[in-house]
Structure 1
C-alpha cells in the first residue's frame, strides 16, 4: 500500500534527519583528526621517554582512553552511515527529490513574479503618461470651447451693430420710357442723352470703351477714368443736379444696372433721384454679367 504524501510534520522530520547526518559526518571527521594527533603524540612520548617507566604507564593509560574514544566515534559514524543510507533510498529519497523540485518551482515562480512586476510598472508608467495626455487634451478642448463661445458673443455683437432695418420700397407699374444708366467703379455712366423737346434718345458713348463685336452686337464697358463720381462731394452733387434738371421725369424713369463693386456708392445716386422726384428701378449686376439693350414695357419702379 502506498503511503500518503508527507505533510509538514514529515518535512520537519526530514530536516532533522539531514541535520543529524551533517552533524555525524562532522563528528566523524573530528574523530579521525583526533586519532591522527593521538598516534603522533604517543609515538613522540614513547620515543622520548623510554627510560622512564612511569611515563610509559601514563602514556599507556592515555592510549587506552584514546582507543576507547576512537571505538565510540566509530560506532557513531556507523549509525550516521546507516542514516545516510536510509536518506538515499525509499520514501526519504522521494521526499528529498520533491523538496528539490519544489525549490526549483519556487525559484521559477519568483522569477516570473519579478518579470510580471516589471511589466506592471512599465504599463503603469504608460497609463500615467496617457492620463497626462488626456488631461492636456481636455484642457485644450475646454479652452477651444471658451474661444468658440467668445467668438459667438462677438458675432452676436457685430450682428447687432451691423444690422440695419430697412423698409422695402413700394413698387408700382409705369408706362414711362426707360432711361438706362450704369453704376460701376463708384461712378455713374449715362449711355444716352434725351432731347427735352422731341424726347428722343441719342447715344452718348464718350464714357465707354469698346470691347468689339459679339453675335452682331457691339460690346461696351465703362471707362474707369470717366463718369460722374458718386462720392457725395460738391462736384458730384453739382454734376448730378445739372443732369437731372434736364431730365424729362414726366416721360422717363431711370433704370440703373448697379455692379456689385458700387452698392455703397449707389446710396448717393438714390438720394439724388428721390430728391428730384425721379422714378427708378434697379438691376443688381455681378462681375462677369452682361447687360443687353432692349425695350421694356409695364416695368415696376420705385
Structure 2
C-alpha cells in the first residue's frame, strides 16, 4: 500500500514538473512572439534575405536528384529514369581527366590558403600600426579598389601587363638582363600568376574583418605591456594576435570549407588551352561538360561530390580548431 502511495506521489510530482516545464516553455514562446511583434518592422528587413535564400539556395535542392538520374531535358526531372550511383561511378572511372582536375583544384586552392589566407592578416596588422590617419585611409581605399573590378576586366589588364612583348613586367625583366616570361601561357608560371593576382585583388578587402577585430582589442592591454617594457613586435605577438585569434579561427574554418573552390571566375577568364594541364579545375570542368556538352546529370554528380567534401572539411576543421582550444563555428 505504501509502495503504491509512493508511486502515485512520484507520478504526481513528475506530472507537476512536466506541467511546470510546459507552461514555462509556452511562456517562453509567448515572450518570443511578443518580441517579434514589437520589432515587426525591423523583422520585415529580413524578408528580402529570406526570399533570396529560399529561391536561390533552398529551392534548387530539388534538382540535386538529377545526380542520381539519366536526366533528359525533354522529360524533365520527374520523368527522367533513375540510375542510382552510375554518374558517380562514371566520374571516377570513365572520366580520364578527373584525377588531374581534382589534383589541380587542390593544388591551386592549397596555394591560395598558404599564401592568400595570411596576407590580409599581415596587411591588417600593418594598417593597425599606421599613425597618420589620412595616409591610412588613402592606402586602405587603394587596396580595396581591385575587389570591385570583375575578373573580366582584371584578366584583360593582366594580359596586357604580363604580355611578353609589350607588358611592363616583362619590360622590367628584360631591362634587368633576363629573358621574357610567358606568365599566361607557360604552365610553369601560370599557377604563380593565379595566386599572386588573386591576392592582389582580394587582400585589401579581406583586411576589413580583421581591422574590425583589431578595433575591439582593449587598449589598456597595450598600456600594461608598455609598462612592462614590451616593444611593438612583442605587443603584436603576445596581445594583438591572441586577441584576434578567434576571428582568424572562424575565417580559417570557412576557408577550408571552400577548399575545392579554386576560383572559377578568375581561371575561366585567364586560362587557355596551353595551360589546361595545370589550371583546369572542377568548376571549369563542370562548366564545359554541363553547359557546353549538356551532360547535366554527370556535372550535377560532380557538384554534389564537391559540396559533400566541402561540408566534411568544415566539420573536420571545426573539430580540430575546437580541440586546439579555440572557438569553432558550432
Fold similarity call, TM over 0.5: no
If you compute each CA radius of gyration, which structure gives the higher value, 1 or 2?
1
Which TM bucket (shorter chain)? under 0.3
- Higher strand proportion: 1
* TM-score, length-scaled by structure 2: 0.21
**Which has a greater percent of helix?**
2
